[in-house]
Structure 1
Amino acid sequence: ASVYSASELAAREFPELDVSLRGAVSIARRLQDPLAELVKIDPKSIGVGQYQHDVNQGRLAKSLDAVVEDCVNAVGVDVNTASAPLLARISGLNATLAGNIVEYRNAKGPFRSR
């Protein structure tokens, strides 16, 4: 929770809250929807093993990102409630497209069809 709570995303999402309260919100959200909350942080921050710093960091990052994307695609997301970081992990989308989807949804209301 501390990685997310100190992030720029958390500061934008909860500008009025102290870092410790942002951490508490993150922990509560992890109980409700772990995947939606964990996509907001770098997968390496989760801690994948004792020797994660001894391997090629580029390959590790690429592999972890692929696993996160696979998980998001396997579970699926609700486009009407998903955050931009979660949408960005869908195959074929990126942060810009995900942000545009959220902006459109906020302006026009929920999507009614595919």
Structure 2
Amino acid sequence: MFQDLKLSSKIILGFAALIAITAVLGGIATFNMLTVRGQSVMLTEEYVPEVEVATRLRAASNGLMYAMRGYGLTGIDSYWREAETEAGLLDEALTDARELSESSKHLKTLASQLDTAQQARNT
């Protein structure tokens, strides 16, 4: 059947096959780009802010711990004022983390860890 076609018909079929292959590859590439776009949005809107708030939580809790240790060992009021400042920063970070946890559907472990952190803060 293919051998019975004219040369012009064979060339047209060849170009049609190339166009079909190009369209399929273009569709696959578009699908992959949309998938990557979704993942990058999730990264920038959920996971990067999670790292930022976790870093703030850690810094504030360490600062609070060191200030309270300094006050406990020396009784100097500047350590107490520093501890109050760090406690405020810790509360702000906990509030931000809770808001992030509520607005993000992919950060499931953050919510359970926030309860533990809040309990530790309250004691």
Taking structure 1 as the reference length, the TM-score comes to 0.30
Bigger Cα Rg: 2
User: Which has the larger helix fraction?
Assistant: 2
The higher relative CO (CA closer than 8 Å, separation ≥ 6) is in 2
